[in-house]
Structure 1
């Protein structure tokens, strides 16, 4: 295996080196890693024929959605079930072949020459796991490193990993009933480009920015899906301590799964707790209307071994952020959607009966804990509703600077940088945060500025659109560009959704982003130079020094 798609990758501080052993740092074994590469390769083949068919007026929604789902399963900490990938690769071949037939039929009917794409489009996967593992050389991310060099391989990787993040966000929107044909078309074109294994650095860099632009459209779609289904976020407190009673803990990102679970547990006496990226659920009116959505338990994904072991109920993992279940809770954890682990029961079709029965059988919390809470719900609707106060506070000098401190948390050293940064922000500055990285500091009381809290929780990484819209609205109010605002981006990256978000910011022309705690393994020294020269990317240094530089640069 060779994998360097996440920040936690072995030897991540040395560019170009990733996990190459029997097991990745994430817990993914070599067999699963290789099958995931083949899954990605299969999806490229679907996209090649989907693109050709679409050009002749034929679309296939099942294929479009499978592309999203197939890529989603290959994200870091999503699906570790090797047998599931054998099934998915076989399904991918059937979909690809169906699209090929539809395309060729349309070409004959319209009297146009039939094109025969190469690579993934004509690959014939083996039908059993052992045979597939002999075909891995087709799909390895670094398969022609010796020919094209590490910079080209790195650019291809950045584009592909960004597309994986796009697919995940887009799948979240699809689950909520929102999709967009333009998005499907652009995803297919981007995958088709990668399927042809380009060697032109400028073309690939342009492809990366196109992925960022696609992601902006997707995040707008997901924002519409979340607010359309559950209402615009409202500011309020989310309890972070336990309440006596039976309990189910929901982690991941999937709000639809949470809603379905709330419906199925009404009047059962079971309390529902969120975990990790599900914290913003307590800001959505339709979700918080359920009185048994009782609070948020625990912190970010990397702490689940300790937190899940201590939770006295059933646990449901939706979407990403699963790590190897421990024996202490393996009999009461369940997966849903694209998530999977060998031997862990998978909940199909939104039916949470197994988890509900497990919760009833578990002890539950035996007493109420002292009530504590954190504030949530400062999405774009909340913040922009008081935009006039924010603008006036800036004009009067009460607010001197904004910091967007967002992104993923993780187990590797270096993420205390963000805690130190937030703790040291001056009293006349405002921190907007989103993503699970906020658990490093979201329980701190930073006070307020004229009634405006200094710490504003915008939501999940899925809510990046909100942060972008807030920045664009402020730029409009001050009649300036986003780069001219007293605003700094301090972004922590971990996996492929973070790559998609970073590419979105770059596609908007936003410069001076601080990125860390360590840089992705696929960012070679030459690629870093390009990013620094073109976008003024700033790798993390010392928190106090980076903070001082950000404030000094704005003052200048």
Structure 2
């Protein structure tokens, strides 16, 4: 079957139906897209012939890193994608498999629409889960259940399964992802300590500096160690902002503050920046010529023409580039999207639950009437200002939890306090969605009710595959009445969408005013 570009795995997919032609909306070429599909098909083939119920460490690491490379805005480089394929094929041969039998994703794209919808949900959920599992692996944590399910789920993609057989598999992906997120949470807090609330400056001091973006805390730690005593300051960007809350990271005095906002603004914010840029995970946009010479990648991230820091993790080239560029001659006082000069982060589940009694008393006294979780991925599609306006319009007696890069739409707003707490609590990265789940379950336990009986509303934005697996976890937990936007996934067929609406009451966002009126009426 001829390989041609078709991709609808992200929220911004072309025409709201799928990217075709010579390039995707994300910037990946037709060649890179085809290689990602071939890599996925090779992984399906490998999973199907693997005789082990529990994959070996070698196989598990290969699955995780290769799947990670297929997530949106990670690997744009045909050379590294081909290297992944070659590595999979080499291991495949040791199991007696043949690359000639690699699965073609065209079989999914051309399947009956409900089968295509459910297999897409399963595949994209697996891709998202692989990212979380890979972060945990970098900190020395692994989980047999997670690794086994990745093989099971991949192998199921080539099987002739009915809708009735696929639905439980999709829900199982949500269940296993909960285990995966708990593992990552333990890995992060076990390595770097429990996050503590921290106020983070948006000012860039004079002198040489490096901006670190992505999600990988281990890479940030290694860079901080290697930049000690060099005179180079380190700033976070995007999803790395919550690093300032971890005791073992914020102890480094040259971890100064945060530069810029969310990932989709980087081409504007990084324009001619006099500092080095290190991309540790997904969220890379094709670099513009004005700053391409100072972009460095590591781990699964790759882009042709940029310098890649390999597994030896020698960040000397990044440090030398920062020193050569010299940084700003005077401090630069940047602001957030709404004009704020600092942001607050660090309200993970330990920090929030440490004041649970205060929260519970405030609810009982009527000081807190509603909880909102407003978070998820940011993106460039028009309509995402909905989330800013929604937060601005929430009543003064409500508490807002947020996480992931969607918060940059509103995290510099001063919303005041309620019940003695800041009204806006940043719980961390998208990787920290487990914190929000843990807080919700703890509140339900404290009030002797189910999560769906809490005065809690989830208003979520999605962009890529990690958001898909989080959504599957929420559905597995039976959480209902989720508001999702800015558009619904293109890979959901009308029948599967109707099923989710009927079973879980998922609603597409409309306007902040209308949605708030509907929420507060209950």
TM-score, normalised by the number of residues in structure 2: 0.96
- 1:11 lines up with 2:7 in the alignment: no
Report if the CA contact (8 A) 2:92-2:99 is conserved: no
Do structure 1's residue 229 and structure 2's residue 205 form an aligned pair? no
- Per-residue CA deviations over 1:113-136 (Å, capped at 9, x if unaligned) read xxxxxxxx54428xxxxxxxxx9x
The reply on whether 1:80 has 2:76 as its aligned counterpart is yes
The answer to whether residue 263 in structure 2 is matched with residue 264 in structure 1 is no
Spell out the pairing of 1:405-484 with structure 2 (5 A cutoff): 405-484=374-453
* Match of residue 158, structure 1, among 108, 113, 121: 121
Between the aligned partners of 1:366 and 1:217, the Cα distance in structure 2 is 48
SS of residue in 2 equivalent to 1:195: coil
- Could you tell me how far apart the structure 2 residues matched to 1:546 and 1:195 are? 40
Q: Give the alignment partner of residue 194 of structure 1, picking from 149, 154, 157.
A: 157
What residue number does 1:139 align with?
104
| Mapped pair 1:513 → 2:482 | yes
Matches within 5 A, 1:80-99: 80-98=76-94
8 Å contact 1:247–1:364 — kept in the other structure?
A: yes
Give the structure 2 partner of residue 132 of structure 1.
none
The equivalent position to 1:403 in structure 2, one of 333, 348, 372, is 372
The match for 2:325 is 362
**Structure 1 residues 469-526: Cα deviation after superposition (integer angstroms, max 9, x where no partner):** 0000000000000000000000100000000000000000001100100011101211
Matched, 1:37 2:33: no
Partner Cα separation in structure 2 for residue 508 and residue 140 of structure 1: 30
Structure 1 CA distance, aligned partners of 2:386 and 2:194?
Answer: 32
Confirm whether residue 294 of structure 1 aligns to residue 268 of structure 2.
no
CA distance in 2, matches of 1:495, 1:353: 32
CA deviation vs aligned residue, 1:164-198 (integer Å, no higher than 9, x gap): 000011001001111111221122112121232x3
Q: Which residue of 2 is the match for residue 167 of structure 1?
A: 130
Alignment-derived partner of residue 117 in structure 1: none
Whole-angstrom distance in 2 between the partners of 1:279 and 1:144:
37
Q: Number of matched residues? A: 511
The structure 1 segments of at least 4 consecutive aligned residues displaced by more than 4 Å after TM superposition are 141-144
Which whole-Å CA distance do the structure 2 matches of 1:536 and 1:526 have between them? Answer: 14
User: 2 CA distance for matches of 1:281 and 1:468?
Assistant: 20
- 2:477 & 2:108 partners in 1: Cα distance? 32
Q: Any residues of structure 2 matched to 1:173-322 within 5 Å, and which?
A: 173-196=136-159, 198-322=160-284
| Map of 2:337 onto structure 1 | none
Is the CA contact 1:141–1:153 (under 8 Å) kept in the aligned structure 2?
A: no
Deviation at 1:142, TM superposition (A): 5.3
Partner of residue 54, structure 1: 53
What is the rounded CA distance, in whole Å, between the counterparts of 1:310 and 1:176 in structure 2?
34
Q: Considering only aligned residues, what root-mean-square deviation do their CA atoms show, in Å?
A: 1.4
SS at match of 2:495: helix
Work out the CA distance in 1 between the residues paired with 2:44 and 2:82.
16
Query: How far apart are the structure 1 equivalents of 2:105 and 2:153?
Result: 18
55, 62, 65: which is aligned to 1:66? 62
**Cα distance, 1:368 vs structure 2:** 2.0
1:46–1:63: 8 Å Cα contact kept in structure 2?
no
* SS at structure 2 position matched to 1:432: strand
Structure 1 position 320, deviation (Å): 0.1
Q: Give 2:314's match in structure 1, choosing from 351, 354, 364.
A: 351
Work out whether residues 250 and 274 of structure 1, in 8 Å CA contact, stay in contact via their aligned partners in 2. Answer: yes
Contact kept, 8 Å, 2:296 with 2:309, in 1: the verdict is yes
Question: Relative to 1, partners in 2 of residues 1:537 and 1:144: Cα closer, same or farther, differing over 3 Å?
Answer: closer
Find the aligned partners of 1:528 and 1:478 in 2 and give their Cα distance: 32
Secondary structure of 1:346 counterpart:
strand
Residues 187 and 214, structure 1, Cα contact 8 Å, conserved in 2: no
Contact conserved, 2:359 with 2:419, CA < 8 A, in 1? no
Query: How high is the TM-score relative to the length of structure 1?
Result: 0.90
Per-residue Cα deviation, 1:29-79 (whole angstroms, up to 9, x for no partner): 1111011011011111222233x2237xxx421111100111000000000
Q: Which runs of 5+ in 2 are unaligned?
A: 335-340
